[in-house]
Chain A
């Protein structure tokens, strides 16, 4: 076995230079290109939906006056979600298929995990765009719901060994 170190270094550097050039040129030429340096503000949850406390959300749940949208990935949803929640991550066909929500007068509660609330924000904004007015996010996300011991469903059995 003969490992041509110099050749690997040369090829890797040339590749890196080429990729840096292509990626920067493409990013600056496109309309939806992003800035090279991001600050923390860019990643905060920016949404037109309002956050509400988990107790208030539970009241809507208990009265059957809300539809719940789980914006997390399907694998995470399967491990546990708010009872009756619809799984519709941003960009999914399930979310696009929720236009019927605009016909009703129910509350729509979007949620994700606490650390990926922006995902819920993106889903909520999409639903607002569809024409829904009563769209809200859960303060503290799914974790806040679980910590209160409110009803949770699973589509996979995690108790099996």
Chain B
């Protein structure tokens, strides 16, 4: 990879900005889903992609995965593991949104609110793709600079 590009992507302030954007977005997205698991299960069902048997399991686990990874990626503890799960969730969202758009489903996206907040559109898809690349940057270029990991344990990557 081009040395200049690598230098830019490894910049600790850029990494911190990406961590903050991803973290705040995922924490915010998790709150309403945790408060209303039944509603989130319905949002997942509306995408008509998962077998019924797996919908409630996803509705129970995914919001907590969003919350925990959101907090940890901001704190910089388990940063790459958190970025991995955030990237994986974003990939799932990208596939689900693309599929819903391709099938012309006019459903609520279930992104931040489970009660009719926002329909599916290409803007959401672009946002998720950008955040997915952000997660990849943290996985490949993230360092322990500006993290609580360093503040507490003083260990560098």
Could you tell me the distance in whole angstroms from the C-beta of B70 to the nearest C-beta in chain A? 11
Q: How far is the CA of A33 from the CA of B105 in the complex (A)?
A: 28
Let me know if A90 and B64 touch, CB within 8 A. no
Could you tell me the distance in whole angstroms from the C-beta of B116 to the nearest C-beta in chain A? 2
- On chain A, the residues within 8 Å of B82 by CB distance are 11, 15
- On chain A, the residues within 8 Å of B84 by CB distance are 8, 11-12
Q: How many A residues touch B, CB cutoff 8 Å?
A: 46
* In the complex, B61 has a CB within 8 A of chain A: yes
* In the complex, A98 has a CB within 8 A of chain B: no
Q: Across the A-B interface, how many residue pairs have beta carbons closer than 8 Å?
A: 136
* Range for the number of chain B residues in contact with chain A: 35 or more
- On chain A, the residues within 8 Å of B81 by CB distance are 7-8, 10-12, 14-15
Q: How far is the CA of A43 from the CA of B45 in the complex (A)?
A: 7
Let me know if A73 and B52 touch, CB within 8 A. no
- On chain B, the residues within 8 Å of A12 by CB distance are 81, 84-85
- On chain A, the residues within 8 Å of B55 by CB distance are 38, 43
What is the predominant secondary structure among interface residues of chain A facing chain B? helix
Q: Please, which residue of chain A has its CB at the minimum distance from the CB of B48? A: A115
* In the complex, B93 has a CB within 8 A of chain A: no
Known contacts A36-B56, A73-B118, A15 near B38 by CB under 8 Å: no
Residue picked from B46, B48, B72, B157, most chain A C-beta under 10 Å = B46
Q: Please, which residue of chain B has its CB at the minimum distance from the CB of A75? A: B119
**Which of B61, B109, B113 contacts A23, CB < 8 Å?**
B61
Q: Please, which residue of chain B has its CB at the minimum distance from the CB of A18? A: B68
Let me know if A36 and B60 touch, CB within 8 A. yes
* In the complex, A148 has a CB within 8 A of chain B: no
Let me know if B116 and A90 touch, CB within 8 A. yes
Known contacts A34-B41, A37-B53, A73-B108, A115 near B46 by CB under 8 Å: yes
**Which of A7, A15, A35, A73 contacts B68, CB < 8 Å?**
A15
Known contacts A11-B80, A38-B41, A73 near B139 by CB under 8 Å: no
- On chain B, the residues within 8 Å of A89 by CB distance are 108, 115-117
Residues of A within 8 A of B (CB): 1, 3-4, 7-8, 10-12, 14-16, 18-20, 22-24, 26-27, 32-40, 42-43, 71-76, 79, 89-92, 113, 115-116, 118-119
Nearest 5 CB-CB pairings of A with B = A89-B116, A91-B115, A11-B81, A73-B119, A23-B64
5 examples of A-B residue contacts, CB within 8 angstroms: A11-B78, A22-B64, A37-B56, A76-B106, A89-B116
